Amino acid sequence: MTGQARSTRGNGHAPSGNGKHRSPADRPCFDPTAYGNGPDDFVTDMTENAAITHHAMQIGREVIAYTATAGHLVTVDPGNSQPNAKIFYVAFTKDGVQAQDRPVTFFYNGGPGSSSVFVLLGSFAPKRIKTSMPGFTPPAPYTLEDNPDSLLDKSDLVFVNPVGTGYSAAIAPHHNREFWGVDQDADSLKQFIKRYLTANDRWNSPKFLYGESYGTARSCVLAYRLHEDGVDLNGITLQSSILDYAQSGNPVGALPTAAADAWYHDRVGVKPKPKDLQAFAEQVAQFSRTDYREALENISNAKNPAIAAALSTLSKYMGIDTQTLTSWNLDIAAYDSRGNSLFLTTLLKDKGVALGAYDGRVTAIDTGIAGKIDPNSGGNDPTMTAVTGVYTAMWNSYLNEQLKFRSNSSFTDLNDQVFHNWNFSHIDPTGAQKGIDVQGNIVLYTAGDLAAVMALNPDLRVLSANGYYDFVTPFYQTVIDLQKMPLVDQKVRNNLSARFYPSGHMVYLDNGSRTALKADLAKLYQGAVTDRPAVARIRALQRMSTMSAMHH
């Protein structure tokens, strides 16, 4: 079984009988299994199939020969070792390198219920979709181009589709819904990663996670559970984080994003308009955590001169008049009775357009599409509308024609059923319930899991990447959540860096931001991998935790 999933390492060339070298032949795969994405669906087939294709691309001055593997690995129930799920993944591995010197990064999107197609075709894989962001990408034909910002020069890349997304499904007698929960999902991905490391002899490689949106909450839980199971990571990238659901919609965290949107659309009342977005955002964040917070707490005392002064400043930063702001009780993250974001629908009301929640630079005719923003879904937001058509069409053609994996089943990009059936209950490293409160509200908090794993593995490096124009997971809220997480050791805290880009929730859809993020990732990988003593300590930690896991 392992042989089928093993990617072609070695030098990517097999000698032929006549003494000349030729590339190994591609191995297409047709998978006739029907992958259902409903809560009660499952498959009975347990084949670890894979389409294997050979490619080359240039990154900077380097030409990289690489192997693409698209297919399934089978995960097992850790208790009885019986197969429980078939997980669909796409891996890109550089040819001709020693596995132990070569990092491997596991990527996934969020949702819950999103496949990894968005991060695969948008961010750091060898190919990417050409989009017109922040404009609307018009209908087909679309183009897929070599990605000069690919991370393949620094790491092998594995894009994972959780159960119920892509072509991933539970294996009978299990059902998809058994994997749809915070802890169940993290355990399932943990089993996938362990299976991948075993099938491809990668246990000694430096290991990284890259999650977006709900994928950041997933990374925190997954990193801790991997550590418990003897898999220690060298680095984690949290892109567009949601680490504390109780703070979702907190106006103090959202204000700097609203001001960035107003700045972008030339609506700020600060004269002259600030030239530098970063400096402006820092100024607004300072106001947000001081005078604005105080004004929100003392809103009933509107005659107080301090409140009046704060309201005037707020109006300048937001580009919205004081009367309107007063009618919102100064809450810039509030919604109207129909569930529309007041700010996103008001800023450019005079132009008859609403701002995108995922990227405030994107606008669309307001027919209620800047509706209640759920950090987990995003079907009808202007940002998603601007790119979804491209993704669906291009993914199917790329998978079938270039990666040579074909299936009769429909590939599930986004599965709403996962989200609607998701169990947000979460037991954190201290044994506390951090997922649902007594009223049944979602209060998922995973920054504590991240703090725990950073404390246990003091060499783990974490990069938090955020877009200035993202109103779904606002960058300043992420800063607050990371500052508040229970991690006291300053030396360990120094392993955490936060970076901000003039982009939205899908940071990489903006060309300049993707290039800047790639440069920051290159530093993260360089630092993590060239620090030999740190790598040695992580490997020793991995051996120790494997031993203790065996003794338990």
Boundary of a domain, candidates 374, 403, 432: 374
CB burial of residue 153 (10 Å; 0-12, 13-18, 19+):
middle
Nearest to 154 by CA among 90, 227, 104: 104
Asked, for residue 379, whether it belongs to a domain, the answer is no
Asked, for residue 12, whether it belongs to a domain, the answer is yes
Q: Clarify whether residues 349 and 225 are in a common domain.
A: no
Q: Clarify whether residues 541 and 428 are in a common domain.
A: yes
CA distances from 184 to 118, 198, 245, 426 (A): 23, 21, 19, 9
Q: Clarify whether residues 541 and 471 are in a common domain.
A: yes
pLDDT value at residue 371: 44
CA distances from 422 to 35, 112, 243, 419 (A): 19, 7, 17, 5
Q: Clarify whether residues 365 and 292 are in a common domain.
A: yes
**Sign of torsion over alpha carbons 263, 265, 266, 269:** negative
pTM value is 0.91
131 — phi, psi (to 5°)? -115, 170
Q: What's the domain range around 76?
A: 2-246+392-551
527: its two tokens: 């630092």
Distance CA 153, CA 7 (A): 17
8 A C-beta contact, residue 157 and residue 105: yes
CA distances from 222 to 117, 236, 366, 426, 537 (A): 20, 11, 39, 12, 20
Residue for token pair 């190919």: 127
Nearest to 238 by CA among 524, 542, 546, 526: 524
Q: Clarify whether residues 139 and 231 are in a common domain.
A: yes
Cis peptide before 148 (omega within 30 of 0): no
Cβ atoms within 10 Å of 404's Cβ, excluding its own: 17
Q: Clarify whether residues 232 and 285 are in a common domain.
A: no
pLDDT value at residue 549: 55
Residues with Cβ within 8 Å of residue 7, at least 6 apart in sequence:
52, 67, 69, 91, 93, 200
Q: Clarify whether residues 203 and 82 are in a common domain.
A: yes
8 A C-beta contact, residue 424 and residue 436: yes
Nearest to 42 by CA among 206, 168, 127, 196: 168
207 — phi, psi (to 5°)? -120, 140
Q: Clarify whether residues 17 and 70 are in a common domain.
A: yes
Asked, for residue 380, whether it belongs to a domain, the answer is no
pLDDT value at residue 140: 54
8 A C-beta contact, residue 199 and residue 182: no
pLDDT value at residue 376: 46
Asked, for residue 384, whether it belongs to a domain, the answer is no
CATH number at residue 167: 3.40.50.1820
Q: Clarify whether residues 239 and 256 are in a common domain.
A: no
pLDDT value at residue 133: 60
Q: Clarify whether residues 232 and 268 are in a common domain.
A: no
Q: Clarify whether residues 235 and 350 are in a common domain.
A: no
Question: DSSP class of residue 399?
Answer: I
Q: Please report, in tens digits, the pLDDT of each residue of the chain (552 residues total).
A: 433 443 434 333 433 344 445 668 999 999 999 999 999 999 999 999 999 999 999 999 999 999 999 999 999 998 999 999 999 999 999 999 988 889 999 999 988 988 888 889 888 999 988 766 666 555 555 678 899 999 999 999 999 999 999 999 999 999 999 999 999 999 999 999 999 999 999 999 999 999 999 999 999 999 999 999 999 999 999 999 999 999 989 999 999 999 999 999 999 999 999 999 999 999 999 999 999 999 999 887 767 888 899 999 999 999 999 999 999 999 999 988 878 899 999 999 998 888 888 889 988 765 444 444 444 443 434 455 555 666 777 888 899 999 999 999 988 888 889 989 999 999 999 999 999 888 888 899 999 999 999 999 999 999 999 999 999 999 999 999 999 999 989 999 999 999 999 999 889 888 899 999 999 999 999 988 888 888 888 888 888 776 665 555
pLDDT value at residue 143: 78
348: its two tokens: 């450019």
8 A C-beta contact, residue 258 and residue 343: yes
Q: Are strands 353-355 and 363-365 parallel, antiparallel or unpaired?
A: antiparallel
Total of domains in the chain: 2
8 A C-beta contact, residue 66 and residue 217: no
Nearest to 120 by CA among 109, 104, 131: 109
Q: Clarify whether residues 232 and 254 are in a common domain.
A: no
Asked, for residue 382, whether it belongs to a domain, the answer is no
493: its two tokens: 């805290």
Asked, for residue 385, whether it belongs to a domain, the answer is no
Proportion of the chain in helix, strand, coil states, percent, rounded to 5 = 40, 20, 40
pLDDT value at residue 29: 97
474 — phi, psi (to 5°)? -60, 140
Cβ atoms within 10 Å of 228's Cβ, excluding its own: 17
Distance CA 442, CA 509 (A): 29
